[in-house]
Structure 1
């Protein structure tokens, strides 16, 4: 399940990306965006743990080093700079949408392999991503 390794790697690198935005957002709505980004990276880390534990339950190896995560991710890291609230929200939304699409791909693959526990987990993740996308879209209005 190569996409599952990519998903796990994206969760870890995405968590770092969200932390970067959380630490470096500035501007009039700093507090609200800062706190929302914290909720996003907490959610990302929870998903990371769920996926890794499921991989272990399924007898699959779990990537566990920064080197492996960087080799398997398709998430672009951000460098250090200050980000406006709008920039931070747009980067976060891009990440969440990307993860939603990947979760849907994995769900379809898991369904084809009759791996219902993974199918259900990805459905739960997609539901969470959909809610975050709704919040982020409304923050950008």
Structure 2
């Protein structure tokens, strides 16, 4: 961590927010992998629509991981970037094996809801630090994941 960072946020608060964002990054990247996996392996009568939907989702997540990692760097921390680091930090459950489209949808709902909880846990840290940039990023992620979870749940009804 650079000792020359003076962006108006106390160092301990900057570290706490950065560590929270590292957990968000790990969850987001893990969800990206999960969604990409499902995109490749979905089958069934709704193949085309789900294949396309999952592609839209993983494309959005790809941009999100970059935004989150860059915010971590702006706070002066190293962004985690390996599978080993992500596996230690993520709360998203890995899915293995051949599963049907309905199970994929259920898993994605759970994963997006997990990400919402992770994001929500960071907001008080960012607010306490008066870190509007991180709070805004996290708020934007909340909107995306809450809406995506709702839309995925609609497929299950």
Say if 2:26 and 2:86, in contact at 8 Å, map to a contact too: yes
For 1:1-141, what aligned pairs fall within 5 Å after superposition? 1=16, 2-81=19-98, 83-141=99-157
Distance in 2 (CA, whole Å) between partners of 1:76 and 1:127 is 21
Q: Please identify runs of 4+ aligned residues in structure 1 that moved more than 3 A.
A: none
TM-score, scaled relative to structure 2: 0.83
TM-aligned CA deviation for residue 3 of structure 1: 2.3
Q: In structure 1, how many angstroms separate the alpha carbons of the residues matched to 2:145 and 2:153?
A: 12
- Indicate how the Cα distance of structure 1 residues 73 and 43 shifts in structure 2: closer, same or farther if over 3 A, else same: same
The answer for unaligned runs of 5 or more in structure 2 is: 1-15
Ranges in structure 1 where 5+ consecutive residues have no aligned partner: none
Question: Residue 121 of structure 1 aligns to a residue in which SS?
Answer: helix
Q: Is the 8 A contact 2:24 2:118 kept in 1?
A: yes
Two-structure CA RMSD over aligned residues (Å): 1.3
Query: Which structure is larger by alpha-carbon Rg, 1 or 2?
Result: 2
Alignment TM-score, normalising by the size of structure 1: 0.91
